[in-house]
A and B are shown apart, each in its own frame.
Chain A
């Protein structure tokens, strides 16, 4: 089954403790991205990747890192999480730009 898998689904952490949210897709998609969803703001792109070893900033990249060492994986790294990064995070993948994006189930992160 074609899918985008994020882990964990829920995470509560403390300020400053490094964490990684994993994202994996099994569709051989080139384009992957991370979004955060906040009430009243919709979804905003954090980072995206057009292919292996090619990543770039989206609209709200501050406080986040990503890597794309393999085509299927695109982890989101928070080196020093802060409470303003409490949000719902989605990973998405698509075959290329401007085609249908497939979304993961989301990761609800709380930073206290």
Chain B
């Protein structure tokens, strides 16, 4: 069965520092992989997704993620954190029924 694991329920970085949020997936078939962001009191917004093709995926707000099959990983990065990046981030994969299977989420804090 497909699943995703997000390492670290809370990550804190300084403004301007590298953001790295980790996600590992488990799937017996080539996966669809997504990163969603949730700002306080809001719904989820798609940051980026990997389906097929190029393994480095660029998303909105300067985020990108690299699909590494050998490591079963899909880590999210941003070179320089901004205060507005503070939010909760969810990695997800596509289930066999077309549903989304989410990780437990990582809360990102950005310190001035």
Contacts and interface: CB of A to CB of B under 8 A. Distances in A.
Contact of B94 (A4, A33, A50, A97): A97
Interface string B68-112: 000000000000000000000010001101111111110000000
A12 interface: no
A103 B45 contact: yes
B102 A44 contact: yes
A45 B99 contact: yes
A110 B97 CA distance: 29
Contacts, number: 59
Interface string B19-52: 0000000000000101010000111111001010
A40 B104 CA distance: 6
Contacts of A98: 32, 51, 94, 98
A41 interface: yes
A50 B49 contact: no
B9 interface: yes
A84 interface: no
Interface string A86-112: 000010101011101101111000000
Contacts of B46: 100-101
B43 A106 contact: yes
A48 B97 contact: yes
Contacts of B105: 42
Interface of B: 9, 32, 34, 36, 41-46, 49, 51, 90, 94-95, 97-105
6 contacts: A40-B9, A45-B100, A97-B97, A97-B98, A101-B44, A103-B43
